[in-house]
């Protein structure tokens, strides 16, 4: 973990942000991932400013599982580094940054950004494409987003079958369906790193669009399961809520892999903090 000194405040867009260059916020290295110190509202401001300049990009929401995978596999770290924005989706990531010396202001999750960026898209007259989830799920999510943000344009939805991305032709067809709708915001909920690998392909064809790897954000938006309460989220215990909902799928990952790694991140951050203060 290493620290990039503060370079400015990236939270708020300037009045003429359509033409002014954006000053990047402080960045902290957590494991093998460089994480922006930015609030959720700052992410939306950044995306809106980029839309107005005709620029696209990608967002990775780095939770402990993603940081662990990137730290273990350099190829995945390189995949994450291709994205313009990497935010802290996980309180251990936030705590590690703060302990190391960069004030990550809050947790910024893919599930929350689905709503925040869709709201920004509605206000800007932009369109959204939802990709991922079981058949019918992205449709329900699209309905929920339109109900919450009147005027939101949904360019399209897609629920490709599991394993489609292992087939070159099926992947190309999935990309082509999204590209044909010419969306401004693409929400991809396939889980890491499948969603980031697909986003790499989508970006080549949709360079002016923004792409969010949102994990379970699409079924959450569809109301298929609820997030933990705000208090539980702030305590950093939402993983226990998710574990209770899906114990068979998540127990091994959370308890055997992610929990020990989270303690390693925090202990590394403490060592960095003490070394900087000497």
Token digits for 174?
A: 């999935």
Decide the pairing of beta strands 27-30 and 33-36: antiparallel
**CATH for 10-221, among 3.40.50.1860, 3.40.50.2300, 2.40.340.10, 3.20.20.70?**
3.40.50.2300
Where do we find the tokens 């943000």? 149
Q: Do residues 83 and 11 make contact, with C-beta atoms less than 8 angstroms apart?
A: no
Alpha helices in the chain (DSSP H): 40-53, 64-72, 74-81, 91-100, 110-124, 137-148, 168-180, 194-205, 217-221, 230-234, 238-245, 247-251, 259-277
Query: What is the full per-residue pLDDT of the chain (278 aa) written as tens digits?
Result: 443 333 333 343 433 444 444 556 789 899 999 999 999 999 999 999 999 999 999 999 999 999 999 999 999 999 999 999 999 998 999 999 999 888 899 999 999 999 999 999 999 999 999 999 999 999 999 999 999 999 999 999 999 999 999 999 999 999 999 999 999 999 999 999 999 999 999 999 999 999 999 999 999 999 997 765 566 566 555 655 565 666 666 666 666 577 777 888 888 888 766 666 65
Contacting residues for 181 by C-beta, under 8 A, at least 6 apart: 127, 129, 155, 156
- pTM of the predicted model, to two decimals? 0.83
C-alpha angle with apex 223: 218 to 228, nearest 5 degrees? 95
| Spans of all domains in the chain | 10-221
Sheet holding 27-30, edge to edge: 3-4, 27-30, 33-36
Interatomic CA distance for residues 170 and 136, integer angstroms: 19
């Amino acid at each position: 973990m290493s620290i990039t000194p503060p370079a400015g405040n990236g939270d708020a867009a300037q009045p003429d942000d359509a033409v002014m260059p954006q000053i990047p916020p402080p960045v902290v290295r957590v494991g093998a991932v460089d994480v922006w110190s930015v609030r959720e509202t700052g992410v939306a401001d950044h995306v809106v400013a980029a839309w107005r300049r005709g620029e696209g990009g990608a967002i990775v929401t780095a939770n402990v599982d993603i940081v662990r995978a990137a730290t273990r596999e350099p190829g995945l770290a390189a995949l994450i580094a291709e994205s313009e924005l990497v935010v802290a989706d996980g309180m251990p990531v936030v705590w590690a940054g703060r302990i190391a010396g960069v004030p990550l202001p809050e947790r910024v999750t893919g599930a929350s950004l689905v709503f925040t960026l869709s709201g920004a898209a509605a206000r800007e007259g932009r369109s959204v494409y939802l990709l991922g989830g079981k058949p019918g799920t992205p449709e329900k999510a699209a309905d929920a987003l339109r109900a919450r943000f009147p005027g939101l344009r949904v360019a399209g939805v897609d629920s490709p079958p599991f394993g489609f991305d292992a087939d070159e032709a099926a992947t190309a067809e999935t990309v082509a369906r999204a590209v044909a709708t010419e969306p401004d915001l693409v929400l991809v909920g396939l889980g890491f790193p499948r969603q980031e690998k697909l986003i790499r392909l989508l970006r080549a064809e949709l360079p002016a669009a923004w792409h969010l790897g949102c994990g379970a954000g699409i079924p959450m938006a569809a109301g298929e399961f609820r997030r933990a309460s705000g208090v539980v989220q702030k305590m950093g215990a939402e993983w226990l809520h998710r574990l209770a909902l899906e114990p068979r799928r998540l127990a091994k990952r959370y308890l055997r892999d992610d929990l020990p790694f989270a303690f390693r991140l925090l202990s590394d951050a403490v060592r960095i903090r003490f070394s900087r203060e000497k």
